[in-house]
Amino acid sequence: MASGVFALTGLPAVSADGTVVLLPIEEVVAGPLAPNLTLVEKGRDDHEIATLVVMTVAEATGETAAPKDVPGANRWLAEQHQAHDWRPLTAFPEPEPSEEGTPDHLAQGDVAVDWNEGHLTVTAGGKTVVDGKHDDWLAPSTQMCPDCEEQCSNPSKLAGVAGDLAHRLLVVTIGYHGTDSCWEPSPQVHVVSW
């Protein structure tokens, strides 16, 4: 860990047989950067298999929390590598900043990913291989404050894509637009395969 963030090498990663994905998940918090990290294993169908909390936001801010265990996390990673032979996913180019309400598009080679407020489309070799609605990936509206009637709305955006095209698998990160009064929620990270 350096400068308030964890140094991560080779993540996200996929098992050699393409059946399991290892994801580093970090929460977004308001104010100064609070380092935190959870390692999550997911299957090709996006179901969670295993989770290891390395450090919580509460620990970073000094609140009561379980102590961080970086050496234990490294041992767990080594054991999981023995079991799965992890291979790093290839990141697509960084997305261009998008305006709220504008469809997002990322491509690498002959694979393209499009996101439009809950609708995900993946094309490979000119054919649509994923076409689905994911309203549960959207951020729900929340009250701006306990006594307010105003609602915070955080439109979604395609924040990143990494993949293993040989295994027909992508990791899609959905981020959110925020404002000073409506802080954006933490990104959601999902496995998509075909």
Q: Could you read off the pLDDT of 75-103 as tens digits, one per residue?
A: 999 999 999 999 999 999 987 776 666 67
pLDDT at residue 15 above 80?
yes
- Classify residue 135 as exposed, middle or buried by CB count within 10 Å of its CB (0-12, 13-18, 19+): exposed
CA–CA gap between residue 124 and residue 110 (Å, rounded):
6
Nearest residue to 130 via CA among 48, 44, 47: 44
Q: Which residue has the tokens 């000094």?
A: 62
pLDDT greater at residue 188 or residue 36: 188
Q: Where are the domains positioned within the chain?
A: 1-88, 89-194
pLDDT at residue 67 above 70?
no
pLDDT at residue 181 above 50?
yes
- The encoded tokens of residue 60 equal 């970073």
CA–CA gap between residue 50 and residue 57 (Å, rounded):
20
pLDDT at residue 14 above 90?
yes
Per-residue confidence (pLDDT) for residue 2, from 0 to 100: 42
Overall average pLDDT of the 67-79 stretch = 84
Gap between the terminal Cα atoms of the chain: 35
96 contact partners, CB below 8 Å, separation of at least 6:
none
* Predicted structure pTM score: 0.86
Tens-digit pLDDT profile for residues 112-162 = 999 999 999 999 999 999 999 999 999 998 888 888 888 889 999 999 999
